[in-house]
A and B are shown apart, each in its own frame.
Chain A
Amino acid sequence: MSNTPNVTRVKQTSGSSSISSLLYSQKIAPYVFVLPFIISFSVFFAYPVVSAFIMSFQEIVPGSSKFIGFDNYKELWNPTFFKAIKNSTVYTALTLLLLIPIPLVLAAFLNSKVMIFKNFFRSTLFIPALTSVVVAGTIFRLAFGELDGSLMNTFITALGFEKQRWLGDRWLGLMTLLILACWRWMGINMLYFMAGLQNISKEVYESAEIDGANTWKKFTNITVPLLKPITIYVFTISIYGGYAMFTESYMLYSGNRSPKDIGLTMVGYLYRSGWEQNNLGLGAAVGIVLLAITFIITFVQLNLFGLFKKEE
């Protein structure tokens, strides 16, 4: 064993000139450096997508999988799947409405000179992102329970309202999911915006002050436009995050079983058809449709933001 490295070293010496020329070649080196990404991308992304695409045209049964044309996609034409699309879309839209403006304003506050306890607020707003969804979902389920003694029911009955079946109602259930999402993601999005704010130079604000701009004017005319690249980024990942939401709903309803499917998301439907009912072909078809939807929406959104236009 101890001899082996020496042997290789001897071998290397004889071939070293060709290897070093390879390493220093301007044509090849870039590929060597991006290789780790290419490999992990193709193994963990491209290959699964391609095989999911193929599987979506198959009936997957051990020992006798066969191609069945568009049957899986035809089977998707059902009210449950439409409900899942609708739920995911509404959820995504509402998270965008909440999780872009609020963190932006919060970031501006925390970046301001007059704000006190900055570090305290920064860390408390960020801590939820570090908790596991499973733990958070379970605690939210109990806090939003239907019994008199649950946290939310104690709270609203004290305020004089009637107790609610929070998770049993379409809109209250959605609201709970949104509160969970805001609680969890607020800090992360805020962090992105704060990073963006550091990049806006003080001089721009100073010259605006000289021109007599008030705080609101500075926010709308300097902060918001200059944060556009960050906003686009947050927007894009939020669209993906919204459509990919599953664990939150799964934990909140302790399983994929919300009443009348009010909490069923597209990934929830994928999980149900692919795993719970062992119909991987149908599950793959759901995945492909999900991919198509997020792809189209992201493309349209990036186009609207003008990301594909040439810089002027």
Chain B
Amino acid sequence: MRKKSLSLLSVSLVMTLALSACGGNNANNTANNAGKATNEGSGNTAPSTAKATKVEFWTFQQLHAEFYTEMVKRWNTANPDKTIELVANVSPYDDVHNKLLVALQSGSGAPDFADIEISKFPNYIKGEPQLVPLNDIVEPDLDNLVKARFDIYAKDGNYYGIDYHVGASVIYYNKEILDKAGVNADDIKTWDDFAKAGKVVLDKTGIPMTTLETSEQWSMWLQTAQLPSKDDLLKADGTPNLDGPEVTQVMKWQQEQMKSGVAVGAPGGFHHAEEYFGFMGKGGAASVWMPLWYMGRFTDSMPDLKGKMIIRPMPAWSTGEPRSAGMGGTATVITKQTKSEDLVKQFLSFAKLSKEGSIATWTILGFDPLRSDVWDDEAMKAPNKFTEYFGNNIFDVLTEVKDEIEGINIGEKTPQVIDAIKTQSNVRILLDNEDTEKVLKDVNSGL
């Protein structure tokens, strides 16, 4: 009898426990909802009567989340009848890309819209893309937009992503070092000039003219993409082109600079390594060429160079040839799993493609906007931390090279080609001094 009542007691205890657990959950849910509702209230400046649509956004960059939070505020003020409640999730780079890939592949769990970095982008348009084509918002504005930045996120005539910036590549000179060597940055027109000036700088100051990335692709990709040819790391048809004449020319030139000491390998292997920031920040090299978005790395990670750096168009391979390439980038995409496709599309168009949105990408993020018709707008001249650091001529440089910004080829092979550059070709050519053509043939045949 005792046994029986004991087991009875335990069973009923378990049941109550289970039930109260359910109750607890409900309470939690309501609490959550309440929390979100207050969030929405504080984010909403306009008194909205209509219920806000909840929209989820994933990114790996805190700044991007802040940008959209600000743009949602502006959107809600302008459109009180269709307000948005933004839930922005920021996670580390790899996490976001992996989670999004799984969510899209398995068909559930994806956010309404998300950021995808360009070197990962081809992974997401394999097979049948799980993203919404954005042609109806992109095409009407295409005349004012830098089209090359949309082609890189396109497949079969559909545009799947909208970037934050043009990513025009420029060269950053340390004017203090150039002055010491008596070199004028404006006299450097071609890469040959650059090499000669580099020799002067090296002889007079003992400081290398530049650093080259040995475990990343930017240094060589920019130089390859700026060539007038249609092929860069990939041929125009999407096949790997590492042994093509373009890459060979660039890598031969880079190897020569390494041999003569004009260039050294970037400490840490790439231009985002902590070691590089330390080295460059202390005046370790006289220049570096990177896209315009690299400005943020100077202001945040190399504060000592404030007022010493100047921005110029990149040297050309020969006089009259293009001096820039649109490079790097992160696309915002809308997933097919969204329940409010039209609303998110309209919002994205407002946030990134409109004149107001384009100006905001500069004022909030410090990026070169996708709309070239705002580059000479008055709003772009207002001082911010970048003009304080680099001077006021940032957009003059951009306007100067406006028609020389070369596009790049992005395809399914891009991630593989970039892996090969990071781990094989750059190290073997620049650090181990192996024969350029042989290495490139070798590596390309392995792809």
Contact = CB atoms under 8 A, between A and B. Distances in A.
A260 B273 contact: no
Contacts of A176: none
B300 interface: no
Interface residues of B, number: 46
Contacts of A275: 94, 97-98, 101
Nearest to B432: A260
Interface string A6-40: 00110011001101100100000000000000000
Given A8-B12, A12-B12, A60-B105, A259 B275 contact: no
Contact of A257 (B98, B101, B216): B216
Contacts of A264: 423
Contacts of A79: 446
Given A64-B128, A78-B446, A12 B23 contact: no
B427 interface: yes
Interface string A142-171: 100111001000000000000000001000
B222 interface: no
A interface, how many residues as a size bin? 35 or more
Nearest to A13: B8
B91 to A, nearest CB: 14
Interface string A231-265: 00000000000000000000001111111110010
Given A5-B19, A147-B275, A61 B126 contact: yes
Given A20-B4, A276-B419, A277-B416, A259 B431 contact: yes
Nearest to A19: B11
Contacts of B279: 147
Contacts of A212: none
A89 B93 CA distance: 30
Contacts of B245: none
Given A78-B446, A79-B446, A260-B423, A16 B275 contact: no
Interface string B139-176: 00000000000000000000000000000000000000
B94 to A, nearest CB: 8
Contacts of B123: 277-278
Interface of A: 1, 4-5, 8-9, 12-13, 16-17, 19-20, 23, 60-64, 78-80, 142, 145-147, 150, 168, 253-261, 264, 272, 275-278, 280
Given A145-B268, A260-B423, 18 more contacts: A5-B12, A8-B15, A12-B11, A62-B129, A62-B130, A63-B128, A64-B128, A80-B446, A142-B274, A142-B275, A145-B275, A147-B275, A254-B268, A258-B215, A258-B423, A259-B214, A259-B427, A260-B427
